[in-house]
Chains A and B, each alone.
Chain A
Amino acid sequence: MKQEIGLLVVFLLVFLYDTFMPQRAGKALPVVSTVLLLLATAAGFCSHCLGTATSTEAFAGMYATSPVVCAIKSILNIGAVIVLLQSISWSGSDHMAVRRGEFYELLLVTLFGMYLMISARHFLLFVIGLECASLPLAAMVAFDKRHYESHEAAVKYILTAVFSSAVFMMGISFVYGLAGSLYFGNIYAALSAGTHSLMLTLAVAFVIAGMGFKLSLVPFHLWTADVYQGAPTSVTSYLSVISKGAAAFSFLVILAQVFGSLYSDVWEWMLYALIILTITVGNLFAIRQTNMKRFLAFSSISQAGYIMLGIEAFNTMGLTAMMYYILVYIFSNLAAFGVIGAIERASGKVDMTDYRGLSKTNPRLAFSMMLAMFSLAGIPPFAGFFSKFFIFTGAINQGSVAIYVLVLIALINTIISLYYYLLVVKAMYISADEPVVGTFRSSISERLGLWITVGGVMLLGIASCVYTWIFDLGEISPLAAYFV
């Protein structure tokens, strides 16, 4: 509960600052919001260190938290702070003057919605969280008013979001009809007692489809590329990491605490098919992209498939590997988006062909991008290797032959992904053409963001304490009781 309160306080302070401070002081708003959120994040970590992050319930059991839940929220917080940091230069520009506050307020609200999704133990609260996290995002996607693509992206996003919410709630209403309650615990008890009806199968499929929208699993992913490309880069990076991370964790919570008893009969196989489709189709599209944001959209689709492996494993190792994967993915992807954002702001270029010869004009940016690509592709010793390694290990631990096949397919796909990640590196380092983007100096906030993310990419894997911390939390998590 403390983290939600902390976030609300941050929101209110930002809101008050935006409303009552003079126009001139508005320039400092991005920095103020970043620092405030950073403080809230630090406070969250303090509660970990002091051991006050305990399991509590609120709202008659509709809300529950535990150390592992606090941990995932802290991880998301870190990501949000980096996103805010990277957005400072962009939102500091003049055309943002009147709307600057809105961006940060909307972002904080969506983060709050994600908190609710993660902690909800009742579908009512969950849907509130879901909508709270989805609808303001549409406004954020449309933020770049001057660009027609931004509008198009927002319309596509909101329409698909509404449709997926409808399907999701359809699924919930089926579940309610079968179990007679919206509490996760009650539904779990009712489902594990009764036999599996066909309607239940459809309900599970609809719930998965609803969550599949947020995670951009194939075939619920078609909005992703258009929206990622059209949205402002800061929003894209937020969508691709934070929104996805929160959805992945709450997805696991629902599948375990509501449908846990149906694992081997029903949703294991649904997820199995979705993972193969997601990773493969994401990769197949990614190899053809030339726009960097669109390229990362498909790469993030395929990455979501890997994250799902942690759920598919359905054991403690899978849970912790998934959390670790999210953490590493936040750092790697934000490093990539940091470079894209900086280049876009300086030169307006977002095409892969524009990255040719970048290593000559902007060696540090090129180096950061290269490490981000290496990490996303899973090359040791960068963090991405370890996260992939753990997630595969978690899946293998589940033990069935089908899972071995799944991991094999995922491994083959990492080879394909290596191809397109290296395309970027090739353009930056090997291409002999004249550099397109001239030498420029990125702003302090952008550089700071890159230092943090690239540092994370290099250190998160080697510093074994990070994974150990998450693993220890995973062992004592309430979710562990649901695993088979």
Chain B
Amino acid sequence: MDATLPILILAIPLGMFLVLGLAGCKMSHKLAGTLGCLGMGTTLVLAYYTAFTYFFSGSPEFVDAAGNRLQALIFNQTWLAFTDNLVIRLGFLLDPISAMMLVVITTISFMVHLYSMGYMRDHHGVYEHGFQRFYAFLSLFSFSMLGLVVATNIFQMYIFWELVGASSYLLIGFYYVKPSAVSASKKAFIVTRFADLGFLIGILILSYYTGTFNFTELTSAPVEGLAGVFQISESTAAGVKSVFESSATPVFMGASVLTWALVLIFMGGMGKSAMLPLHIWLPDAMEGPTPVSALIHAATMVVAGVYLVARLFPLYLMEVSALEFVTWVGALTALYAAIVACTQIDIKRVLAFSTISQIAFMMVSLGVARPEMHEGLGYMASMFHLFTHAMFKALLFLGAGALIHAIGSNDYTEMHGLRKYMPITHWTFLIGCLAIAGIIPFSGFFSKDEILSSCLGNSTVIYVWMSLVAGLTAFYMFRLYYLIFWWKEHKVHEGHHAPHDQPWTMSLPLIILAAISLVAGFIPFGKFVTWNGKSYDFMAHFDWSVAAVSLFVAVVAIAIATVMYRKENPLPEKMRAAMPGLWKWAHHRFYWDELYMFITHRIIFDGICRPIAWFDRHIIDGTMDAFATITNKASRAIKPLQSGQVQLYVWWYLLGALALGGITMLCLL
């Protein structure tokens, strides 16, 4: 495939960022928004074309004679060559998951670009302050995220990984005059940066022992027979494999080097994907504008951790203990987030915890995937769920944005009974809820069912656990749904006029995403995305009993939610009174934030930072001050040298020349 289009996919958003960032203040709001949408639209078309070519062209570059999908390096440019081994490249990698991610990112990003045209202005049509900046940052984010998924090597991925972190920081703190937004952006940046420290150390360990950054070599070697898929020679794969085997020998604190590297790399993923205990930034990140939450904190950036594990999946297969770690982190997070989501009253926070829980589903799915079991179904299921979740969660967030836009508050106790006023939002939101709850035929049903099937194949405990979480998901989503759209409406809504549906720029993305959520489940994902490129029949691994059980659980959960929340009644209060401890802990998110506060303030600040600050202020600054004083004194002392008299200059000159010769002579004697 020609490299022009792929380069354009990255270049257009970057160019848009530069244009809007540098010249945005010189152009009108409308022009800036339109430019942003046009740029993203073009990228969308190019990305679709690229993905289509990859999946359907059947070119020998992308698919081999046996029908296996191959990994193709569209280009791979050497950027910095430090030594023969330490070479950093920038390139464009096309394989099933990166092609799928291109579609996901550009779709959601385009929807959000379009949606923001309506969202980022008030009811009188006045654009928000910094509208151009908003579009510039959106373009920057899209560029970074696209660069992340097409990275050909782990170092390139790290660069773009940090870039998405930075653009997320900028967008969360978009309302920089609001102190809560500022602290939320800082929190998000610091927590993910802290996790990235682990990622970086993992990268360094891995590349130190294997001598390469490239995904192709890293991921093809561990498993027999993958070299063909990755289009490298068997001998190269064998060479890297032998390196791996030797690198498994050094043991540090009871685990092999490879395990350490993989767990540390996963730590980066835990930060970005908000896994326990690094999840604390995501709920606060909802301070950003809602379209941003939909794009970054629901659909794309937060799944980067899942993508990272999927990208290195063959490596994780080498160390099953690392995969088990992934599974359990995911399982704990899923349950935790689902419980907390049942007790929140801020609509965006509920969605945030639901996102955490759903990402944890994907993590679990990767963790339980084994090649010998259903041909690695978990891997496919995880990517499938990533795809469907991106669509329906973006839909839910954009719907929530429409509600917030109409009501002017995040608190859903102030909403109630909106279904009459905002029919489009109501119906699309309902589709999103049904999809996430896993009701047939909505997309979430299919992907979640695949995940549960692969869990069952691995361990019954995980299966039961995750089914329970799936039930909780259906419960809290419908609790949210009923509280917003049912109940009796408030007497007078905040504004002077009744809430109403939004302009077409906001409705259109909702409708498109709802349509996708409705049909995406029927995509035969197994034909496109599998861990080793072999496509398989979707129905072959479809387990009817699992499907029936999960459907039953979801329906029961929805029924409970209906009984409790369809109308105002004392049931919820009773239930709360029955479990006061659990409710209180869940409502306060199990006091994670307070725990972090205690650790940072009491232990780190008081115990470590203060002594260092003292050392800095007294010892280091003191040395520098002394240094400056000496310099100043010396400078004053030699001032007379520059007398302005040329005869003295010449004397000094001669003296210098003679001294130079004389002293050297003395030394040589």
Q: Do A and B originate from a single complex? A: yes
Verify A196–B653 contact, CB threshold 8 A: no
Taking A202-B661, A205-B660 as known contacts, 16 extra A-B pairs with beta carbons closer than 8 A to each other, sorted by chain A number, are A163-B653, A202-B665, A205-B658, A208-B660, A219-B652, A219-B655, A222-B642, A266-B668, A273-B663, A274-B660, A283-B631, A285-B635, A285-B639, A285-B642, A288-B636, A416-B631
Binds A, one of B64-72, B397-405, B552-560, B643-651: B643-651
Verify B654–A196 contact, CB threshold 8 A: no
Instruction: Provide the B592-631 mask, 1 if CB < 8 A to any CB of A, else 0.
Output: 0000000000000000000000000000000000011001
- How far apart are B124's CB and chain A's nearest CB, in angstroms? 37
Verify B631–A287 contact, CB threshold 8 A: yes
Q: Give 24 A-B contacts (CB < 8 Å), ordered by A residue.
A: A156-B649, A159-B650, A160-B646, A160-B650, A163-B653, A163-B654, A167-B654, A167-B657, A196-B668, A198-B669, A201-B661, A202-B661, A202-B665, A206-B661, A209-B656, A220-B653, A222-B648, A222-B649, A223-B646, A269-B664, A269-B667, A270-B664, A284-B635, A285-B635
Contacts of B664 in A (CB 8 A): 201, 204-205, 266, 269-270
- Does A265 sit within 8 A of B, measured CB to CB? yes
Verify B660–A270 contact, CB threshold 8 A: yes
Contacts of B632 in A (CB 8 A): 287
- Does A281 sit within 8 A of B, measured CB to CB? yes
Verify B650–A285 contact, CB threshold 8 A: no
Q: Indicate whether A222 sits within 8 Å of B635 (C-beta atoms), given known contacts A163-B650, A204-B661, A209-B653.
A: no
Contact of B638 among A226, A265, A284, A416 (CB under 8 A): A284
Instruction: Provide the A181-205 mask, 1 if CB < 8 A to any CB of B, else 0.
Output: 0000000000000001010011011
Contacts of A419 in B (CB 8 A): 628
Instruction: Provide the A239-276 mask, 1 if CB < 8 A to any CB of B, else 0.
Output: 00000000000000000000000000110011001100
| A-binding residues in B (CB < 8 A) | 627-628, 631-632, 634-636, 638-639, 641-642, 644, 646, 648-650, 652-658, 660-661, 663-665, 667-669
CA distance A163 to B652 in the complex (A): 12
Chain B contact residues: helix, strand, loop or mixed: helix
CA distance A206 to B654 in the complex (A): 9
Verify B660–A209 contact, CB threshold 8 A: yes
- How far apart are A7's CB and chain B's nearest CB, in angstroms? 31
- Does A155 sit within 8 A of B, measured CB to CB? yes
CA distance A285 to B638 in the complex (A): 8
CA distance A204 to B668 in the complex (A): 14
Contacts of A201 in B (CB 8 A): 661, 664-665, 668
Contacts of B661 in A (CB 8 A): 201-202, 204-206
Chain A contact residues: helix, strand, loop or mixed: helix
Contacts of B649 in A (CB 8 A): 156, 160, 222-223
Verify A273–B660 contact, CB threshold 8 A: yes
- Measured CB to CB, the nearest residue on chain A to B632 is A287
CA distance A205 to B631 in the complex (A): 29
Verify A213–B653 contact, CB threshold 8 A: yes
CA distance A208 to B661 in the complex (A): 10
- Does A234 sit within 8 A of B, measured CB to CB? no
Contact of A198 among B641, B648, B668 (CB under 8 A): B668
- How far apart are A147's CB and chain B's nearest CB, in angstroms? 16
- Does A164 sit within 8 A of B, measured CB to CB? yes
| B-binding residues in A (CB < 8 A) | 155-156, 159-160, 163-164, 167, 196, 198, 201-202, 204-206, 208-209, 212-213, 218-220, 222-223, 225-226, 265-266, 269-270, 273-274, 281, 283-285, 287-288, 415-416, 419
- Measured CB to CB, the nearest residue on chain B to A298 is B642
CA distance A389 to B660 in the complex (A): 29
- Measured CB to CB, the nearest residue on chain A to B646 is A156
CA distance A288 to B669 in the complex (A): 41
Contacts of A164 in B (CB 8 A): 653
- How far apart are B637's CB and chain A's nearest CB, in angstroms? 9
- How far apart are A383's CB and chain B's nearest CB, in angstroms? 18
CA distance A397 to B661 in the complex (A): 27
CA distance A326 to B219 in the complex (A): 48
- How far apart are A438's CB and chain B's nearest CB, in angstroms? 27
CA distance A334 to B655 in the complex (A): 33
Verify B657–A206 contact, CB threshold 8 A: yes
CA distance A209 to B652 in the complex (A): 11
Verify A220–B656 contact, CB threshold 8 A: yes
CA distance A208 to B668 in the complex (A): 18
Q: Indicate whether A265 sits within 8 Å of B668 (C-beta atoms), given known contacts A160-B650, A222-B653, A284-B634.
A: yes
- Measured CB to CB, the nearest residue on chain B to A170 is B657
Verify B652–A222 contact, CB threshold 8 A: yes
Verify A198–B665 contact, CB threshold 8 A: yes
Contacts of A266 in B (CB 8 A): 664, 668
CA distance A266 to B635 in the complex (A): 30
CA distance A200 to B638 in the complex (A): 32
CA distance A265 to B636 in the complex (A): 35
- How far apart are A267's CB and chain B's nearest CB, in angstroms? 8
Contacts of B648 in A (CB 8 A): 222
CA distance A167 to B652 in the complex (A): 13
CA distance A115 to B669 in the complex (A): 39
Question: B638, B657, B664: which has the most chain A beta carbons within 10 Å?
Answer: B657
CA distance A274 to B665 in the complex (A): 16
- 4 closest residue pairs by CB, A with B: A205-B661, A209-B657, A219-B656, A222-B649
Contacts of A222 in B (CB 8 A): 641-642, 648-649, 652-653
Verify B660–A281 contact, CB threshold 8 A: no
Question: B636, B656, B665, B669: which has the most chain A beta carbons within 10 Å?
Answer: B656
CA distance A313 to B653 in the complex (A): 25
- Measured CB to CB, the nearest residue on chain A to B634 is A284
Verify A281–B646 contact, CB threshold 8 A: no
- Measured CB to CB, the nearest residue on chain B to A416 is B631
Contacts of A226 in B (CB 8 A): 644
CA distance A273 to B656 in the complex (A): 11
CA distance A118 to B577 in the complex (A): 94
Contacts of B653 in A (CB 8 A): 160, 163-164, 167, 209, 213, 219-220, 222
- Measured CB to CB, the nearest residue on chain A to B664 is A201
